[in-house]
Amino acid sequence: MLVQPYLFFEGRCEEALEFYKKAIGAEVTLLMRNKDNPESESIQMQLPPGTENKVMHCEFKVGQTTLMGSDGFCRPSEVGQFKGFSLSLNVADAATARKVFAALAADGGEVKMPLDKTFFSDSFGMLTDKFGIGWMVGTQPQA
């Protein structure tokens, strides 16, 4: 069994992918647009006009983890909204944690718990990025 996070960016998927590439070195391994769907007639009726170039499905890697995502249904009232869970990002050392934390918090992110030493990690912090995605950045405890 494999559980993979699937993120719905409600119209901002491509922007999010570019951000994650720069901020944490994400690698896009698959990107399909609504217009690439061979069954687009049935799907397009559910999507607002002008969304044929929006991301129907993507896969991207952050380190060894594969995440999936899309623009969702691009409902105007929900564009850019995201709620529900956080992604945990474990890095090798405190210097990397500081770099990644700062990159994810940039451009409108909100720090929920500043990056600092905790009882379970040499470096741990929590934030919400500019897309509303919650992140927990930390290092593995040294044995």
Average pLDDT, integer, range 27-44? 78
pLDDT in tens, 72-130: 877 666 555 654 467 878 899 999 999 999 999 999 999 999 999 887 889 989 899 99
47 compared with 70, residue with greater pLDDT: 70
73, amino acid identity: F
Q: In this structure, what DSSP letter does residue 61 have?
A: E
How far is the CA of 130 from the CAs of 19, 40, 51, 66, 112, in angstroms? 10, 31, 22, 21, 13
For residues 109 and 57, state if they share a domain. no
Alpha carbon dihedral 109, 135, 72, 130, in 10-degree steps, equals: 0
For residues 70 and 112, state if they share a domain. no
By mean pLDDT, which of 7-16, 25-34, 42-51, 58-67 is the weakest? 42-51
Structure tokens at 16: 């999010």
Q: In this structure, what DSSP letter does residue 66 have?
A: E
30 compared with 35, residue with greater pLDDT: 30
Percent of the chain with pLDDT over 70: 83
For residues 70 and 40, state if they share a domain. yes
Structure tokens at 90: 């474990």
Residue 132 backbone zone (phi > 0: left; psi -120 to 50: alpha; other: beta): left
For residues 92 and 49, state if they share a domain. no
Q: State the pTM of this model.
A: 0.72
CATH number at residue 44: 3.10.180.10
How many separate domains does the chain show? 2
Structural domain including 102 reads: 83-143
